[in-house]
Amino acid sequence: MPTLRELLPALQSRDVSQPAITCYDRTGGATHGERIELSGRVLLTWASKAGNALQDEWSLEPGSTVGLALPAHWRAGYWALATWWAGATLVTGAGALEADLLVTDDPTLAAEAPGEAALVTLAGLARSHPGPVPAGVMDEARELATYGDRFDALDSPGPGAVAWRRSDGTRLYDDPLRADDRRTCLVVGEEADRHTADLEDALDRMVRGWSGDGSLVLVRTGTPGPGDSRDSDDSGDSGDSGDSGDSGDSGDSGDSGGAGDGLAAIDGIDGIVEAERAELVRGPA
């Protein structure tokens, strides 16, 4: 069975032109109607940029911790992937706030982080955060695109290294994964804590699909969070691009459209599942 240590080689060896994650926004906020689809190639490009930031900007390495205080979202996917690529430990749940680096869409959490912090804007076309960015915090929308599209980790985690510290326990780099070859659809955001259960469920599904030949359709519903604002510079309309920011050749993002165009205009979970030819799944993987 594959492991988190083998996740990157598995993803790189598959057909990277095919979708890796598709994200629908049905939160009712300013990004409602957005549909973002990332191919495997584009996902790896974003993970490379984040990996270079982890390694070059913050000198993170095996043993360092990266906390995710984000909703279930495609941006959480590439930050998780980058963390494992760099050999560091991903932290979700309450412990995320104490990590060496906190990645969050909440300016207040970013300002109060005891270590370093990156402030994420969730909107697909955002070029900068729409509000004030706390001193010393990275504006991800403005800065991440400047990092390289190729990443080479300087070190790898040793035997017994912790890959993921979750709200329900830990996972090691060498723990077996259940690979999934299906295109699955997960609906999140109605009731669960946006920084724990939904995020961990979504990451579980991403990892299963990426370690096999599958992909995830993620439908975000419910109340929008602090990172859902689109009042940012040059953020475009509520349509999407799988390539947000100037990310080099990462524009091969598959099909993505605006709130009134094609698949992005579909309303209702059943319609999305049918149009995406996905299998609806519920709860933890």
**Per-residue confidence in pLDDT tens, the chain, 285 aa:** 899 999 999 999 999 999 999 999 998 887 889 999 999 999 999 999 999 999 999 999 999 999 999 999 999 999 999 999 999 999 999 999 999 999 999 999 999 999 999 999 999 999 999 999 999 999 999 999 999 999 999 999 999 999 999 999 999 999 999 999 999 999 997 544 445 569 999 999 999 999 999 999 999 987 655 665 544 333 333 334 344 433 434 434 344 444 345 677 776 888 999 999 999 998 666
Q: Where are the alpha helices (DSSP H) in 92-163?
A: 107-112, 140-143
In angstroms, rounded to a whole number, what is the distance separating the alpha carbons of residues 84 and 6?
10
Who's near 161: CB < 8 A, 6+ residues apart?
62, 63, 87, 89, 172, 173
Residues 6 or more apart in contact with residue 210 via CB below 8 angstroms? 7, 10, 11, 20, 40, 43, 81
Q: Tell me, what's the pLDDT at 197? A: 65
Task: Name which of 228, 230, 224 is nearest 190 in CA terms.
Answer: 224
- d(CA 30, CA 67) in angstroms, rounded, equals 26
pLDDT at residue 268 in the model: 83
Determine the pLDDT at residue 228. Answer: 56
The answer for residues whose C-beta is within 8 angstroms of residue 63's C-beta and 6 or more apart is 88, 89, 157, 161
Alpha carbon 184 to chain centroid distance? 16
Question: For the chain, which domains are there?
Answer: 4-281 (3.40.50.12780)
Closest by CA position to 97, among listed 109, 79, 106, 111? 109
Is-contact 163 171, C-beta < 8 A? yes
Cα separation, 89 vs 60, whole angstroms: 10
132-135 contact pairs (CB < 8 A, 24+): 132/107, 133/107, 134/107, 134/110
Instruction: Note the pLDDT of residue 262.
Output: 65
- pTM reported for the whole predicted model: 0.86
CA 81 to chain CA mean position, Å: 8
Q: What's the pLDDT score for residue 239?
A: 37
